[in-house]
Amino acid sequence: MAAGALALLVFYNLLWKKRNFNTKIKGRVLPEPSGALPILGHVLQLSRKVQFQRTMAAFADKYGPIFLIRMGMHPTLIVSNHEIAKECFTTNDQTFASRPLFNQGKYLGYNNASYGFASYGAYWRHIRKVARLEILSTQRVEALKHTVFASEINIMIEDLFLFCKNNGGNSKVDMTQCIENLPFNVMLKVMTGRRYSVSFHDAAKGEVKHLKDMTNEFMYLFGQVEASDLFPFLGWFNFQTKYLKSMKRLAKEMDELSESWIEEHTTMKQKGDQTFDQNNFIDILLSVIEEKNNYGYSRDTIIKASITSLVLGATDTTATTILWLLSLLLNNKHTLKLVQEELDLHVGRERKVEYSDINNLVYLQATVKETLRLYPPGPVLAPHLANEDCQVQGYHVPKGTRLIINAWKMHRDPNVWPEPEEFKPERFLTTHKGVDASGKHFVLLPFGSGRRSCPGYTFATQLMYLTIARLLQGFDFTMPSNEPIDMSETISISLSRETPLEVCLTPRLSPELYA
């Protein structure tokens, strides 16, 4: 065993040198931070105590907006400029349309059957078509926002009002728990067709608690760096870390729950039972995914992979953004006042704000965009993989190179965003009017761009807009103390708040408007 390991290390060292001194390069050689070690690459220069996007931003300040680092055995292109990102997602979009293989995709993504993990090819094109045309189409989201979205938001607002009423008006509320429950409830209703009641002030129980715990653990494990992903030879020795063991256990638990949902819906469909909402995603997937010709995956595997990616993707992104927005507004009371004045002007206090009002609430939309600029849910976009040699900005990028876009750094480019650290929604009504987060404007990429952009962009933003509008129309927000809201961030794959957001709420509408 030891001799075999030594031989592999020698082999990988020679391979590393070959990559490092390739003389058949077509184009300029990418700049690279000093200090890379054989096999390890730049891994020792990364710290678990510093966010990856900040470390890469510091490298960019020194080496420029495009450079190469070595994540163990894997050369990785880091881009932190919107013009270079545009070249990657337009000129080289097909070249970078694949994904690297990670243990997360193998164990938590059903052997890469999940849309986000799947490699570029016929299967990925098939599942993308299903996602965009059947599950997350404009027509589907339009129907959902007037039914499930509005219903769940109404329940949350009424819940908050009753909590305030029962606790003397101006009440201290844990908004983190409240906001995290909303997209969770929405996705469960959309996915299964039935409502799992989770109130913000009641602890989740039973199946709901189990699912919430699994969701939280999934997001944690998704952001961990597994040793064998950096050093593939470790996988040949069946090297088991605590993260790998946790992934395997969690994968089994998620599979059992998803399997039970599919069996339940299949049985009810055969009986003609219409207890559940017939537009639920599981029934749709059962109808459109065929039993055969699924590129090596079973129908149930594809459905379970889709369930997992949809539930986890939507819940984290939406809640994270809303919580950052509320935090920013509380620390910028003038902006909070302007948003509420806009609501009073265009909607008033005699009726509930509705989706038909959102187009008139341009300042509210600007606050959402500015929040996504400062706190993109994924500060670095999901890694891409070059499936052939290409050139970016005249630099040679070999096949097999990974690509990471540092959206967090791009969104703070002072040449694009004057006073980039300041919260200024007005910029989206003046200098950046017309810029949105859909991926068409490369200066703002919280949801990615190109073939691999997030298909849930419309779903997430539509849920955000009405949620924020209803909250700010319905309640006055104040801080529990004279201290500013803590804006500390977690060190993880998603840019989340490190501490719970506690606020004091006072209802500002007539009681009948909360029912």
Average pLDDT for consecutive 10-residue bins of the chain (515 residues)?
46 50 71 95 91 97 98 97 98 97 95 94 94 91 94 95 86 91 90 77 68 86 88 79 93 93 89 73 91 87 91 83 98 98 98 98 99 96 97 98 98 98 98 96 97 93 97 96 93 90 96 94
Q: Does domain 103-377+418-514 have CATH number 2.40.70.10?
A: no
Q: Which residue positions form the known binding site?
A: 454
Decide: residue 447, CB within 10 A, 0-12 exposed, 13-18 middle, 19+ buried. Answer: buried
pLDDT at residue 279 in the model: 76
> For the whole model, what pTM was predicted?
0.93
Whose structure tokens read 């329940």?
Answer: 155
**How far, in Å, CA of 501 to CA of 488, rounded?**
11
Decide: residue 314, CB within 10 A, 0-12 exposed, 13-18 middle, 19+ buried. Answer: buried
Residue 225: both structure tokens together: 């760096």
Residue type, 386: A
Q: Which residue positions form the known binding site for heme?
A: 454
Instruction: Identify the sign of the CA torsion 479, 483, 487, 490.
Output: negative
pLDDT at residue 154 in the model: 96
Count CB neighbours of 437 within 10 A.
Answer: 21
Identify the three-state secondary structure at position 503: strand
**417: closest CA among 82, 84, 90?**
82
Please write down the long-range contacts of 145-151, taking CB distance under 8 Å and 24 or more positions apart. 145/355, 145/462, 145/463, 145/466, 146/355, 148/186, 148/189, 148/190, 148/277, 149/186, 149/462, 149/463, 149/466, 150/354, 150/355, 150/466, 151/189
Element (H, E) at 404: strand 402-405
The residue extents of the domains of the chain are 1-94+399-411, 103-377+418-514
**74: closest CA among 379, 381, 385, 382?**
385
**How far, in Å, CA of 452 to CA of 381, rounded?**
10
pLDDT at residue 308 in the model: 86
